[in-house]
Amino acid sequence: MAKRKPARLEQTVEIALTVNGIKVTRRIDARQHLIDFLREELGLTGSHVGCEHGVCGACTLRVDGKIVRGCLTLAAQADGRSVETIEGLSDAGTIAALQEAFHKRNALQCGYCTPGMLIAAHDLVTRHPRATRDEIREHLSGNYCRCTGYHAIVDAIESVLKAKSSNPV
């Protein structure tokens, strides 16, 4: 009986996406993760890699406006989508109020978790403008800070929410 050849898996795929407002087309390894694509192919190293299995939140990004784990998302899944990284959100001024509040309250030490924290915090501020302190903590529960600067981080986010509610324009 003739031996059957194993099905050959596609090794590379071509993707076309928008990253921080710029159209990008690349042929990539089909199994490359989005965070590695952004860091290694595009040089966008602002988003970090920690646990690499969806626990720490260091790799938090936005895809079509929703926050995702860059280490659990394949770059191929971002085909045709709009990806925003900490660089794009920062340059656009989208997270300026949070950045200022983090700076003012010294809500970081090594800064490794900060890009992911800021993106998660922005998601909260946008979607739950009346979030309580407990809800802030809950929302950030998927973002680990190894330096344990949580108190100042929560203070900073709370201050942005308060400023927003007293001046909702």
Beta bridge partners of 74: 33
Window contacting ligand FES (CB under 6 A); options: 39-47, 53-61, 90-98, 127-135 = 53-61
Tokens 């981080």 label which residue?
153
In the complex, least distance from residue 71 CB atom to ligand FES, rounded to whole angstroms: 3
Residues 102-141 that bind ligand FES (CB under 6 A): 108-114
Confirm or reject binding of residue 146 to ligand FES (CB under 6 A).
yes
80 binds ligand FES (CB under 6 A): no
Of 119, 145, 154, 156, the one binding ligand FES (CB under 6 A) is 145
Decide if residue 59 touches ligand FES (CB under 6 A).
yes
Give the Cα separation of 66 and 46 in Å (integer). Answer: 18
Residues in touch with ligand FES (CB under 6 A): 49-52, 54-59, 69, 71, 108-114, 145-147, 149
